[in-house]
Structure 1
């Protein structure tokens, strides 16, 4: 009965998750510099952030945030500041050890917890994700759809997001891919940092659509 609605949700989500953004940049950077393990934990953090968006969409809190300019701007500036912070940290990265990258060994030792939390916060504080899920649960999904079914949609969205970014982590942690990045050394970190800072600034000055 809800298959067509589910397929619509899945298609819209696929187009959104495949679009490069802060989550993608973060998972790629973590995978290249710290290996698949840390990249996968970051992906799990990003996927878990989806549960947060789904939860407040179901509770209607997202509607309150979207209708309050003050709350939305506060949320937006927090997210922008965090992205800029991540970008600055990336810009300060030391040159990579080429032999370690070529051998496929992690260059930077980071805890799984830190990787997970970074992924979770990056996704959870993204106001564009807030508006996306709010739109998804108010426009695409029929309001009369049972909450249990909507919650199942949320579980799927979490799983699909996690799987996608785990695949990204796997790809960018391959020895051949990392060996290619080894020639660029710490410049890759710096480019990624500039991208994150750019995304943060763009987010900070953006208006509610």
Structure 2
């Protein structure tokens, strides 16, 4: 198999994905919140959850299931409302955030407030339940990838998108969870959580209105 034949497709997919993953959305909001609230380790685990969820969308696209979601308004609406309800659930918790004791040093100790499993699940569900993410990947595979491209190559594209997404959010987690950044924001963390809660509510509204 001559892999050089697929570099054009790969670069197109990689470029479009880079623009999409860098755009603010539910994934960005939840990773940002966890970076500040729980620290680097939890934020990175959340990021890995987001990256793994990409494989779910890739599977939809390769199997053609995403086409059903795209062409059936009822299924799309139901899926959108489920996703919106999940974002509202997270948002309500953030809006109830209380001020922390700033006399205590900012450390990774606060990461004990949430388990690794829960952090991964939140990242996975935040991305996995986003119908717009499903449609994005369906569109990318339909437009940028030839129908003649072997399934093994398409799978390789999907694995790249998953790893690249996870690495991007892990990098973001690293930057946002540095000691200076967390120390600066920690004294206003309850307000920060409330703002992020409001952002998640707006994203949930956008899912069911647009």
Task: Specify the TM-score bucket, using the shorter chain as the normaliser.
Answer: over 0.9
Q: Partner of 2:107 in structure 1?
A: 104
> In 1, are the aligned partners of 2:36 and 2:186 still within 8 Å (CA)?
no
When the two structures are superposed, what TM-score results if normalisation uses the length of structure 2?
Answer: 0.95
1:1-209 mapped onto 2 (5 Å cutoff): 1-100=5-104, 102-107=105-110, 109-206=113-210
2:140, 2:6 → 1: CA distance?
A: 15
Which deviates more from structure 2 when the two are superposed, residues 91-100 or residues 117-126?
Answer: 91-100
Unaligned runs of 5+ in 1: none
2:51, 2:141 → 1: CA distance?
A: 18
CA displacement 1:66-86 (0-9 Å, x = unmatched) = 110010000011001111111
> In 2, are the aligned partners of 1:96 and 1:107 still within 8 Å (CA)?
no
TM-aligned CA deviation for residue 184 of structure 1: 1.4
Unaligned runs of 5+ in 2: none
Which contiguous aligned blocks of 4+ residues in structure 1 show a shift greater than 4 angstroms? Answer: none
TM-aligned CA deviation for residue 96 of structure 1: 2.3
Q: Tell me how many residue pairs correspond in the alignment.
A: 205
TM-aligned CA deviation for residue 140 of structure 1: 1.1
